Structure 1
Amino acid sequence: MAELSPQKLILATESTYKIELLERLGLSFEACAAHIDETRLPGEAPAAMAARLALQKARRVAADHPNAFVLGADQVIALDQTIFQKPGSVEGAVDQLMRLQGKTHRLITAIALRTPSGAELASEVAFEMVMRPLTEQRARAYVETDQPLFCAGSYRIEAGGIRLFEAARGDDFTAIIGLPLTRVWSLLEQTGYLETL
């Protein structure tokens, strides 16, 4: 009986954080940026937005690589129905932290896997992030140290941002960084991808 050759796995991102996370699983894969419009739709709930964008990223890359398994991911930070984007500046980051300080917000990470047959599977992980009360001085000192200018919510929890929190409640801490590895492995198992290794 001929051995199965592993099929290509592509991570639809250019994020170094997501790439480093997926490397932990010991799988061979490529990374390819998925350039899509990430504008929120009118009335769209935060979890629905994360799920839609993860699937759009997987579909976009799969269009150029139809014979590959393509994994898309997206993360949304929401306080009630307000979604926080990447601040892009020190002042924007300080403003975001002051809006989040002393409150509990949701960090929603969605993934979508598109197979060569066109099947699509999805999953999501939501964390409750309990931020400590902060003064503007402390918020500014954190931003100057960690420079989270391209992180939605203006914190890097995998770095010094952990100091900003009293608690993080969820079931897969890798989701906080951007890619829930337990869910990724489950989707790969469900599609039969792991049987080709």
Structure 2
Amino acid sequence: MKKNQKIEGNSTLVLASESSARQSILTGLKLIFDVIAPDFSETAQPGVPPAEIALINAKGKAGSVAAKLAGQSEANVIVIGSDQVCCTDSGMVLHKPGSRDRAIDQLTQASDQWLTFYSSLVLIRNGMVERAHVESCAVKLRRLTNLEIKAYVTADNPLWSAGSFHAEGAGLRLIEKIETTDINLLYGLPALVLLQALRELNDPLAYAAWS
């Protein structure tokens, strides 16, 4: 995968994210794509519903990359933007902690609680928003001890993950139950909706790396 480079040939999909989890999802789906980091600061406005925050951020990321690519290529480029916001049953948003202490504090608050993850998808093609979608999944954390929480944060360093844990990795050890129609929602990308959108926009085989 290339970053911040001109799109040429069959490289028609661009992921507007440096998230390793999202890149792994697209790679696992055998999609050919490039990665370009967006120039966009995620919003966390008080009072804005979490689903709306996720959609605003996805639009901002995709729009930023689409603007970078404008006029660079004649290819039919589709930019993929996505975001994830986690909140408790009480509506409190669990932001990306950014520090060990905040990660420990958030996991302490989330222990033995249901969390909702809102994952968004925005597709921009030729400057036009072709798809804007938000979907949620629910996760129940186990009753965690202080020792477990501190040990997990030390081992997995989830400082830039919504909810303060990596569900695609060791964070799964904190989870008691998952309710979702698409497990990839938990990892930050509505993959089933993405695939449906690609089928509607073009022949999906044009994007596939089967070899």
Determine the structure 2 residue equivalent to 1:192: 202
Partner of 2:17: 13
Shift of 1:173: 0.5
Instruction: Give deviations 1:114-133, integer Å, cap 9, x for gaps.
Output: 11262421222211111111
Contact kept, 8 Å, 1:7 with 1:193, in 2: the verdict is no
Partner of 1:163: 173
CA shift for structure 1 position 42: 4.2
Other-structure match for 1:142: 152
Distance 1:196 1:98 in 2: 46
Q: How many pairs align? A: 193
Q: Structure 2: which 5+ runs fail to align? A: 1-8, 71-75
Q: Note if contact 1:115-1:191 (Cα within 8 Å) is conserved in structure 2.
A: no
**Whole-Å separation in 2 of the counterparts to 1:119 and 1:141:** 43
Does 2:42 align with 1:38? yes
Could you tell me which residue of structure 2 aligns to residue 64 of structure 1?
A: 68
Partner of residue 175 from structure 1, selected from 173, 180, 185: 185
So what's the TM-score if we normalise by structure 2? 0.84
Shift in Å at residue 31 of structure 1? 0.5
Cα displacement (A) at 1:81: 2.3
Contact 1:12 / 1:70 at 8 angstroms: preserved in 2?
yes
How many Å separate the matches in 1 of 2:93 and 2:146?
Answer: 21
* Cα offset, 1:39, TM superposition: 2.2
Confirm or deny that 1:106 pairs with 2:110: no
Match of 1:127 in 2: 137
- Match of 2:178, SS state, is strand
* 1:15 partner letter: S
Contact 2:43 2:57 in 1 (8 A): no
Amino acid of the structure 2 residue aligned with 1:84: L
Shift in CA distance, 116/195, structure 1 to aligned 2, threshold 3 Å: farther
Distance 1:109 1:193 in 2: 25
Shift in alpha-carbon separation, 1:140–1:152, aligned structure 2, 3 A: same
Q: CA deviation at 1:138?
A: 1.6
CA distance in 2 between partners of 1:58 and 1:148 (Å): 24
Task: State how far apart, in whole Å, the 1-side matches of 2:155 and 2:46 are.
Answer: 36
- Residue correspondence of structure 1 range 90-105 to structure 2 within 5 A: 90-105=100-115
* Change beyond 3 A, Cα 1:29–1:64: same
Helix, strand or coil at the partner of 1:82: coil
Q: Contact between 2:86 and 2:117, CA under 8 Å: does it hold in 1? A: yes
Give, in angstroms, the shift of residue 195 of structure 1. Answer: 6.8
1:49 counterpart letter in structure 2: I
